[in-house]
Structure 1
Amino acid sequence: MRLLSLVLVLGLAGCGLIRPIGGEGVSAQNLPYRASLKRGEDRRDLTVRVRAPGATVGQVRESVRFQATRYCLSTYGGSDAYWAIDPATGDWAFVRAGEDMVFTARCTAR
């Protein structure tokens, strides 16, 4: 019994020393563009603004998605968001505001 307790204590103490499976994950510092999120009047609605003069949706997608995923996950417990879609392209819709691209989405987790 004493040996089992020792193994458990040492095992738990080492948990923080082991890298998570699949790497360290993504942080906002590793993304190519700086994006900021603002929630809407309905807290499920959000806008993400990214400063990216001349960039395409594909180039900014992960920077934008990161902000929405983090917000939806921490607020609603799920990472899914429904993005406004541009009917002409079938891709995420956005508006240009100066050098910024502004995207809208809605958290879908319950």
Structure 2
Amino acid sequence: MMRAMAGLVCVAMLAGCGLGERVGLGAARKAASLPYSAQLDPGADPRDFAVAVKAGPVGVDAVRESVRYPATRYCLTTFGTSDAIWRIDPQTEDWAAIRDGDRLLFGGRCTAR
């Protein structure tokens, strides 16, 4: 009886800390989706990258998080840190974007190493 009780306490504690979800034993959480589809391409120097996002007629502010996410993921998985610097447009002092039809193209660099 005491072992069964100890086992139930352990199961309850694991469920409370979220360990079950991390090892695939729980209800999967649906990830929040980003509003625009973005694709990252590494440059010749692995620290450099370009991100293209299907944006239609919208501007930089509308797509910023959709662009930032793949860059953060790339820098984090490749260099161990999420820090990135973006090319800046000197006129707007915001991220530089090149419009190519319905896409916006951005460039940046992972700052690690």
TM-score bracket, shorter-length normalisation: 0.7 to 0.9
Letter in 1 for 2:20: G
Shift of the 53–17 alpha-carbon distance from structure 1 to 2, 3 Å rule, reads closer
Partner of 1:85: 88
Q: Does 1:16 align with 2:12?
A: no
Q: Distance in 1 between matches of 2:21 and 2:44?
A: 42
Percent identity over paired residues: 49
Matched, 1:73 2:76: yes
Unaligned runs of 5+ in 1: 19-23
In structure 2, stretches of 5+ residues that fail to align are 23-28
Residue in 2 aligned with 1:41? 44
User: Which whole-Å CA distance do the structure 2 matches of 1:57 and 1:25 have between them?
Assistant: 26
Shift of 1:26: 5.6
User: How many residues of Structure 1 are paired with residues of Structure 2 in the alignment?
Assistant: 100
Give the alignment partner of residue 104 of structure 1, picking from 102, 107, 113. Answer: 107
Distance in 2 of aligned mates of 1:100 and 1:16: 40
- Give distance in 2, aligned partners of 1:86 and 1:92: 6
Bigger Rg over Cα: 2
Deviations 1:83-109 (A, max 9, x none): 000000010001111111000000012
- Taking only aligned residues, the RMSD between alpha carbons, in angstroms, comes to 2.5
Are residue 64 (structure 1) and residue 67 (structure 2) matched? yes
Distance 1:17 1:33, change over 3 A: same
